[in-house]
A and B are shown apart, each in its own frame.
Chain A
Amino acid sequence: EAAVTQSPRNKVAVTGGKVTLSCNQTNNHNNMYWYRQDTGHGLRLIHYSYGAGSTEKGDIPDGYKASRPSQENFSLILELATPSQTSVYFCASGGLGDNQDTQYFGPGTRLLVL
């Protein structure tokens, strides 16, 4: 089973500040994803990646950047954080193997932007 970790688990940021959320996976999956979860909206895809050096826009990319420096690591960057970005952020990985196309999720990061 995929092991996906996220850091930090909780973050308080100020409006206009820069926030970086990190994700690491140890199952050598090619694909990684960033979602946010808000009441009434479910899980929404922000950015995803097919491998090191690759980033793609998801359904709600505005205000976010992503970076995939290696197979294992995928970061979500909020250059100028706003209160509307207060949410719970989940990273996921997926790829080839017995459960191809299945995504495995990290524990989530709770972000509060004041």
Chain B
Amino acid sequence: AQKVTQTQTSISVMEKTTVTMDCVYETQDSSYFLFWYKQTASGEIVFLIRQDSYKKENATVGHYSLNFQKPKSSIGLIITATQIEDSAVYFCAMRGNTGGADRLTFGKGTQLIIQP
């Protein structure tokens, strides 16, 4: 069975700084996909960025990047030059290749607070 763990319940940082949110996962699959989603205060869930396990290069989209450490089963989300509107709950998720194709397993989320 797959498992995704986000140990940071809440993080507070100053605006314009860099923040890293941690995520570790467990899977028996040799190939898998990792995702980060953002849930805004309105409840909307937005896809941010993904990492395919077979790719060695860390994914980057805008001011979001990933720190993929495969030997540690870790996929951290890095947000640079944070803005007030980055305040949200961030979910890490993964999808393996067995146990029902395309099923995502989610972590419980990390609340990010950006202070002015």
Contacts and interface: CB of A to CB of B under 8 A. Distances in A.
Interface string B77-101: 0000000000000010001000011
Contacts of B50: 99, 101-102
A114 interface: no
Interface string B21-54: 0000000000001010100000111110010000
Interface in B63-116: 91, 95, 100-104, 106-109
A33 B44 CA distance: 16
Interface string A23-49: 000000001010000001111010010
A40 B107 CA distance: 10
A73 interface: no
A104 B47 contact: yes
A94 B102 contact: yes
Nearest to A31: B102
Interface residues of B, number: 20
A105 B45 contact: yes
Contacts of B104: 33, 43, 45, 103
A108 to B, nearest CB: 5
A74 interface: no
Contact of B100 (A42, A56, A95): A56
A58 to B, nearest CB: 7
Given A45-B103, A45-B104, A88 B95 contact: no
